[in-house]
Structures are given as C-alpha cells and as structure tokens.
Amino acid sequence: MTTIGIVGCGAIGQALLKASEVGSLTLPITGIASRTEESARAFLATLNDPPEYCSQTELIAKADLIVEAAGGDVLPELACATFQSGKDLMAISVGALITHPEILDMARERCCKIYAPSGAIAGLDGIKSASSGRIDSVIMTTRKPLEALEGSPYLVERGISVLGLTEEQEIFSGTAREACVGFPANVNVSAAVSFAGIGPDRTQIRIIAVPGLDRNCHDIVVKGEFGRLHIEIENIPTENPRTGRLTVMSIIRTLQGIADPLQIGT
C-alpha cells in the first residue's frame, strides 16, 4: 500500500491527520514535517496514534508519496528533493506550478508524477474533456469573504485593505497567471481550472470581495465546440478562511483513488 508523508501541519495537514485517525483516509501516513515544529508536535500529541515527526529529508526517504500542504513558497525546493529521490508529489498549492514551470520539467525528466486534486472546484473532468477539442473561453468569477483576501500581495503592493468595505467590490480582473501571483493563497482553484482547460494566459479570472460572506464562491463559464459548461460552487471554509472544506475532501478522495482499482472520471 502506498505510504504518504505530509509536509505542513496547518489547516490541511491537520485535517488529513484527523481523517487518518477516524479512518476516512486509509493510506498510511508514515510521517509529517513542518516549518513550525513546535506547533506541529503539539498537534500530533492530541492524536491517539500519531505518525512520526520527521525532517523533510527523512520524510522523503520514508514515504512513497509526498503531500505538500505547506504553501507555494516551499513547493519548488520540496519538488526538487522529492523527484531526485524518485518519489511522486501531490501539490496542493497548484498555483506555484504556474509561477515555477520548472517543477513540471523536473517531474518529466525524472518520470515522476504530480497529483493536483480538484480542490474547491467541481467539474474539472468536464473542462479536461472539452480541452481535447476547441475551447473558446474560460471565465471564472470568485467571491470571497474580506478576511480571506486581506493581505494578499496584489492588495499589499497597491496599499489596499478590503476590511473596510461595506458592499461587494471587484478587486481584480486578469488572467489566471496574474491571479496566482497576486493572490497565491486564494486562487489555487484558478490554476487548476487553467491546467484543465486552455492554460493560465487564456483563462480569465475576476475576484470580488464580499462583506459578510461566509463561503468561498466560484462561478465558471466555459464555451467551446462542445457547447457551454456552467459550474457554480459555494464552499464552506475550514478554520482557515482561505481554505474550503471541499478542498480537504478532494485531497482525501484523490489519495484514496490512488489505491482504488476503479478509476472514475476523465
């Protein structure tokens, strides 16, 4: 059975550990590494049968599959170390694959796989299918609570705070590539949509800040020779307002699917 090692012990890493404890994630977790060792060890101490805390090097040596749950800034170095060891990688911070295309090149050179869960977005199988023909346009509109967007690099660079907004306001419109640079903790979903469809430079993204909103909402319209596909999602956040519950569920299901004999979907 494939063993997994988790890098990161924030909202996603903790959710995976809890899922393992209750049995909804059956692949064995062989260890966990984190930049915040003290808090990670403190969380592990709350579990009945916690995996071992490891250095990143030890973790890569022990596990068959490395799960990145630590943020896009760690992904390039982690991917390099993982692929050099001949191991596969699950990238939760999909947006980093746009800003660091060399990660994809390394995976190809080493014949390693990168798993990118669909995360907060349903319907990626439909977009992937459509991409085998002509897609004319992909437009994604994301509505998020103010606290989920505050402090994003795009806003900080422009001296913008959204916390004082009293009505919804569009704060960004551009390509998926630009969105992933400006909002790296918020729009991994747009990266996933762009990889499934027509790429980060042709996928258009709008981001709207909405006071009082308690969900992360995504509306995607895809048009092409197949017809028209319209996807709507309202995702309830985890303890981290930037991360939706469906994202965690998607990761768990993707991991389970690695071992399943029946593969469903495109």
Supply the DSSP string of 157-183, one letter for each residue.
Answer: HTT---TT-SS-EEEEEEEHHHHHHH-
Please give the C-alpha separations between residue 121 and each of 44, 148, 188, 193, 246, in angstroms, as whole numbers.
Answer: 30, 17, 10, 8, 8
Alpha-carbon gap, residue 194 to 188, rounded angstroms: 10
**CA 199 to chain CA mean position, Å:** 17
Torsion (CA) 152, 156, 157, 158 in degrees, nearest 10: 110
- Active site (annotated) includes residue 218: yes
156 neighbors 184 (Cβ within 8 angstroms): no
Contact by Cβ (8 Å): 238, 245: yes
Could you tell me how far CA 221 lies from the centroid of its own chain? 20
Distance, CA of 172 to CA of 154 (rounded, Å): 9
CA gap 142, 172 in Å, rounded? 10
The torsion angles phi and psi of 165, rounded to 5 degrees, stand at -65, 140
Active-site residue identified among 131, 218, 229, 247? 218
For residues 31 and 53, the answer to whether their CB atoms sit within 8 Å is yes
Catalytic center residues? 218
